[in-house]
A and B are shown apart, each in its own frame.
Chain A
């Protein structure tokens, strides 16, 4: 397939691997922020192509994984209400809440439906006007513009029964949290599809303020290896900067129309992240002009005490402090069929990825 096969060329992969091996002069730790990168890195066996000096650490860029338990609990409360239909991306179904999951609620009879796009949620709301349709909005800057278009369309169509529960988040604050934390990294493989929307500028503070390398990478093997090579060279030259490897999709300014959609509908708010707690300014909530679509305003639910499974170390994994193998439940009590924590649920989750692509 075009824009895929060319970047999986075996000769180029081996050549890049060679270049990286010849370029290392010290140890390097790089964090791949995006769960899509984590998944691609292990699927394509990238670690086996790297010299031992390079350590890749997965980060907090899997939207399902960072969605906190209280969000799932709220979604479950809505799903138990009469005449409410929950519409969601599939992965969220299996993420454990404090005492249930959306999947379990669905089996018990709750009306929960899976879609690929917010526009499908809108269709359900249009055709079933007697129902309140609650769309679970999760995802970073890549996904939030689509939700913004969906909400604006709902407003234009005068839909009264479409509601949003937003856990949308933005990337820079959590990357800043990591940059200023105890974990020692030399640079980031920056999320390419976030940058497709935002442009490359949102990462500039990382080299400027924290002296960290930043390469916005594509998702094919040569993309990832080329990005790692650029990072190694930046670190060797002691000249960290924001560079775009994924130039077929990412520009300096990004997608201005998508940014405009997002800015019209959302404003920044504090948000709760699994593993990090509340990060100021890292969430997106509907602006007051759109608050009729905000389910938390229209039908407030009492936030009850929630609890996480304390033996799941997803939080530490998302912060780059530990790896899936360090969890006592990995492969034993916790598997993709029976996930104990969010990182085992999603295809982009570190635990799920390690489970699938690493032998026991």
Chain B
């Protein structure tokens, strides 16, 4: 029950959004997140968007891991 998954916002109608998790469509309450637009990714948990996913931070984490990789290869 406690699963939270990244979901892409498809459309927004006031406080509710339709979101896609790998093509499957769910409803997500937007009561706890602001500035969300279609195309953004949110974390879906028990019918609510609990946080917007930060793309910069996502890229940053991967960059860090890739640096780790090249450092090993030296």
Contacts and interface: CB of A to CB of B under 8 A. Distances in A.
A28 B62 CA distance: 26
A1 interface: yes
Interface string A230-268: 000000000000000101110000010110010000000
Nearest to A347: B3
B25 interface: no
Interface in B13-67: 21-22, 26-27, 29, 31-34, 41, 43, 45-48, 50-51, 53-55, 57-58, 60-62, 64-66
A93 to B, nearest CB: 11
Contacts of B46: 89, 116-118, 139, 142-143, 146
Contacts of A193: 2, 4, 43, 45, 50
A15 B58 CA distance: 19
Interface residues of A, number: 53
Contact of B69 (A12, A196, A197): A12
Interface in A142-179: 142-143, 145-146, 149
Contact of A36 (B4, B22, B31, B55): B4
Contacts of B22: 1
Contact of A4 (B6, B26, B69): B6
Interface string A39-81: 0000000000000000000000011100000000000000000
A3 B2 contact: no
Nearest to B53: A248
Interface of B: 1-4, 6, 8, 21-22, 26-27, 29, 31-34, 41, 43, 45-48, 50-51, 53-55, 57-58, 60-62, 64-66, 68-69, 72
Given A36-B4, A119-B47, A149-B31, 6 more contacts: A3-B41, A64-B1, A117-B47, A255-B51, A261-B32, A346-B2
Most chain-B CB neighbours within 10 Å: which of A15, A197, A223?
Answer: A15
A19 interface: yes
Nearest to A19: B68
17 contacts: A3-B6, A6-B62, A64-B2, A89-B46, A92-B1, A115-B47, A117-B29, A117-B48, A119-B47, A142-B46, A143-B46, A146-B48, A149-B32, A193-B2, A193-B50, A255-B33, A346-B1
Given A116-B47, A249-B51, A18 B6 contact: no
A222 interface: yes
A230 to B, nearest CB: 11
Contacts of A346: 1-2
A124 B25 CA distance: 21
Given A193-B43, A247-B61, A145 B50 contact: yes
